[in-house]
Amino acid sequence: MQRATPLLYDVVVVGGGSVGGLLACALACSPATSHLRVAVLERAEPAPLHPVPAAPEARVSALTPTSVELLRAVGAWESVAGARATPFRSMCVWDNAGGAVSFDAGGVTFDAEWSAAAGEELAQPVLGHVVENRVLQGALFERMGELSGSITLHCPSAVSAVRFPAEHSAERAQAGAPPNWPTIELDDGTELRGRLMVAADGAMSSIRQEAGLRSFAYEYGQLGLVATVETARPHDTAWQRFLADGPLAMLPVGEKHSSVIWSTTAEHAGELKALSDEDFAAEVTSAFNGGGEFGDRANLPPPCVRAVGPRGAFPLAMRHAGCYVSPTQRLALVGDAGHTVHPLAGQGLNLGLYDAAVLTSSLISAVESGLDLGEAATLQGYERQQMAANVGMSAGLHSIQQLFCNPLLQNSALVSARALGMSLLDNTPFAKDLIVRAASGPALDLSRIGGDGT
Ligand SMILES: Cc1cc2nc3c(=O)[nH]c(=O)nc-3n(C[C@H](O)[C@H](O)[C@H](O)COP(=O)(O)OP(=O)(O)OC[C@H]3O[C@@H](n4cnc5c(N)ncnc54)[C@H](O)[C@@H]3O)c2cc1C
């Protein structure tokens, strides 16, 4: 059987999740790269953005102000904001360990008013926005549809084979020979080739594995249980309590709902999933409010009335690829394909969105200097910048998880030191200032991203 002529693209993005979608939109919207032909392959059609269902879906992400700016730059934020993106204005973190240690003193509260008082530079009306994953992906899909002059969406599409070039052959390509670029075959026989392939296909990335790029994983042996609950009153705080097994967090979504993310053992997660809607809500309320000196404080999370909709559970792991780029294979990894972190600080998706922004900047620079999109000089700047940032964040989050939740580290001296540390932090505006800055996202240069919002 004669093969169909391969479809040639400048960039082939495998995975149309939020990170792959943002990358494609950023390339299509930026004047320097809007002429590039970008293909996005996504195996599952996302749920339509509208109508917005009455109850939020359980899987949400807390977007930092930097991530919101990125979505705004590519023209997707308005759609996200119109589909129940919910701002939170304060963040409250506390510890469960009781006994001889007072954790009342260990409560740490960041709020936007405090940030504003700390200096104009930090003044942010909100600390972040809680957004349902289906909304984010749906809005980016809509935007990719509007940018169809640059972006070709292959969805739903299933990859049946991937071939990487044995060696870099820019000279052959320039000489007009058949380009020795990475090739993807779809189930329907379509063949696509790209100057650059980007793996945005999530934590278990098959593209990363096909390319033979190694990834280190630390399995926490726990599940992240996610659920939507109705609360007795509206609130605009991100609450997090460190329990013996892991952190329990609650984020506002819309007027009367909140999203619960409970990191716990598989056994406990199974029990929680099996509870009735009312019993689950009671369990969350009691886990937040029961015991410990914080329980006496006035600013407790609102009680949960009932759970709404299905509950999900995800295995928790810190994962990191040894490299994010492979110039000989003309490949770059972004988002969860390159790294996953513990959800305790809600940073996983944000890190992926920053990857997409930094890779876009590298590709803009390459186009402006006449470099090939797949070559080492183009890709290594992206890897250098993001590897350093993501390794630092992964290590920081892992240390916090271990400090609060590793059973071997729960002796009384360490627990006392932890309480003292939280108390000191709560009373040290300078340190809070640093944390608020870090939690808001890095200072990315967004000046060249977006702008051509056609
Ligand atoms: C319990 C939990 C809570 C979390 N909370 C937060 C939070 O509050 N804030 C935050 O920032 N992050 C959070 N995260 C992390 C966040 O969900 C992920 O980091 C984010 O979804 C990664 O986006 P991605 O686009 O890289 O990958 P994914 O969202 O996994 O998208 C990958 C896409 O690729 C597609 N795909 C895969 N293989 C193929 C293929 N062969 N062909 C075509 N398409 C393919 C998939 O269908 C999917 O659409 C949380 C994670 C968990 C587990």
CA-based angle 300:63:10, to the nearest 5?
165
Residue 364 lies in a domain: yes
Q: How many domains does the chain have?
A: 1
Q: Helix (H, G, I), strand (E, B), or coil: what is residue 382?
A: helix
Residue 453 lies in a domain: no
Quick check: is 337 in a domain? yes
Mutate to test the pocket of ligand 1, among 201, 261, 350, 353 (most ligand atoms within 8 A of CB): 201
Q: Which atom of ligand 1 has the smallest separation from the CA of 137?
A: 49
Per the domain annotation, does 2 fall within a domain? no
Ligand 1, atom 3: closest residue by C-alpha: 343
The helix (run of H) or strand (run of E) holding residue 81 is: helix 77-81
Residue 231's CATH number: 3.50.50.60
- Which atom in ligand 1 lies closest to the alpha carbon of residue 201? 34
Residue nearest ligand 1's atom 41 by CA: 159
Least confident of 55-59, 291-295, 341-345: 291-295
* Average of per-residue pLDDT across 83-98: 82
* Span from the CA of 285 to the centroid of ligand 1 (angstroms): 28
Q: Is 453 a residue whose pLDDT tops 60? A: no
Whole-number CA gyration radius for the chain:
23
Per-residue pLDDT reduced to its tens digit, 2-45: 567 889 999 999 999 999 999 999 999 999 999 999 999 999 99
Quick one: which atom of ligand 1 is closest to the CA of 263?
A: 1
pLDDT digit string, tens, across residues 164-220: 986 545 555 555 545 689 999 999 999 999 999 999 999 999 999 999 999 999 999
Q: Is residue 121 part of a domain?
A: yes
Q: Is residue 448 part of a domain?
A: no
Say how many Å lie between the CA of residue 80 and the centre of ligand 1: 17
Q: Which atom of ligand 1 is nearest to the CA of 337?
A: 26
**pLDDT level of residue 162 (50, 70, 90 thresholds):** very high
Distance 269 CA to ligand 1 centre (A): 21
The best mutation among 13, 25, 43 to test binding of ligand 1, ranked by most ligand atoms within 8 Å of the C-beta, falls on: 43
Secondary element (H or E) of residue 412: helix 412-426
**Residue 357 one-letter amino acid:** A
Residues with Cβ within 8 Å of 353's Cβ and at least 6 positions away in sequence, in order, are: 18, 19, 22, 63, 67, 70, 71, 335
Task: Evaluate if residue 429 carries a pLDDT over 70.
Answer: no
C-alpha dist (Å) from residue 427 to 341, 421, 436, 440, 444: 28, 10, 14, 20, 30
440 CA distance to ligand 1 centroid (A)? 20
| 194 part of a folded domain | yes
Domain annotation covers residue 228: yes
Q: Pocket around ligand 1: residues whose beta carbon is below 6 Å from it? A: 14-20, 41-44, 61-62, 159, 200-202, 206, 224, 226, 261, 314, 335-336, 343, 346-350, 352
**What is the torsional sign of CA 112, 118, 124, 127?**
negative
> What pTM value is reported for the model?
0.91
Range of the domain at 52: 7-440
Distance 203 CA to ligand 1 centre (A): 7
Q: Take atom 50 of ligand 1 and give the residue whose Cα is closest.
A: 343
pLDDT digits (tens, 9 = 90+) for 299-322: 688 999 999 999 999 999 999 999
**What is the CA(13)–ligand 1 centre distance, in A?**
14
Residue 436 has pLDDT above 70, yes or no: no
Q: Which pLDDT belongs to residue 352?
A: 98
Separation CA 61–CA 59 (nearest Å): 7
